[in-house]
Structure 1
Amino acid sequence: MSQAVSQSDAVVVSPDRFRVLLDNEHVRVLEYTLRPGERDQWHTHPAKVSYVVDGGELRIHLADGTSFLSSEPKGTAEWREALPRHFAENVGKTPVRIVLVEVKVIVGTLSGRGKRSR
């Protein structure tokens, strides 16, 4: 892993917040946990699917100095585009736990997969 990648990789910079559940050539699955008042370190993510196991309120701080509130309702799943360098702070009263499925580049063809034969 290059130094530039490792300095922005969530697992490398915040190993106490991000735990790798699966890592293969197609996806990396992370469990993310942030207790009230905690924050993680500056990092980035590729495009991903998120599933909120335990919901709450996060404030996302961007490198340009702006921030926004992100309400994370329990049981929701959504597609999230890549997010530029940021860190999150739990501004709510409950721990937040989210499973992230980061999508890697899929090389090759998926031709014929998922088709039903008659």
Structure 2
Amino acid sequence: MKRNLSIMLGGIFAPFLLSFGANAQDWKNVNPKMNHILADTTFLRATEVILQPGEKSDMHTHPAHFVYALTDGKLIVHYKDGKTETIELKAGMSAVSAPERPHVSENGGTNTIKFLLVELKEHPYVEPKTKKK
């Protein structure tokens, strides 16, 4: 199950519908009421994330990161490219992810979702360059 969560998370927390330049919106600055910063150093940021039932974040990205679910819940990730993933979180699940592309995160369940997000600042998301035709 941890393996499946790692694959599904693929960089999970970030989805939302804004346009970006080379680097997208920093999660720290997106919906600050959802974020409780536990540590913020030159190389990492640890955040307790809280999403109420039905609540959605704004569009954002993440650098490489580690996620640890503190509660059970249904997390829906809406990617800027139109893809959607639904993740059934179970308290104690964890995952490691490469930098996450632009997305919006939504609590698709009936209970509050809480998870720990540890972002590695030295490995930021960088939008791929588009090929010229």
TM-score, normalised with respect to structure 2:
0.71
Runs (4+) of structure 1 exceeding 4 A deviation are: 4-7
What CA distance in whole angstroms lies between the structure 2 residues aligned with 1:40 and 1:32?
A: 11
Partners of 2:34 and 2:24 lie apart in 1 by 15
Deviation at 1:5, TM superposition (A): 8.4
The corresponding residue for 2:100 is 83
Contact 1:53/1:97 (<8 A) preserved: yes
The structure 2 residue matched to 1:28, chosen from 13, 27, 45, is: 45
Does residue 68 (structure 1) correspond to residue 85 (structure 2)? The answer is yes
CA RMSD of aligned residues (A): 2.1
- Structure 2 residue runs of 5 or longer lacking an equivalent are 1-20, 124-133
Percent identity, aligned pairs only, is 30
Residue number in structure 2 paired with 1:112: none
Gaps of 5+ in 1: 107-118
The one-letter amino acid of 2:61's match is T
1:93 partner SS: coil
Question: Bigger relative contact order, structure 1 or 2, given CA contacts below 8 A and separation 6+?
Answer: 2
Give the partner amino acid of 1:49.
F
Task: Indicate if the aligned counterparts of 1:36 and 1:93 stay in contact, CA closer than 8 A.
Answer: yes
Please report how far the alpha carbon of residue 104 of structure 1 lies from its aligned counterpart in structure 2 after TM superposition.
2.5
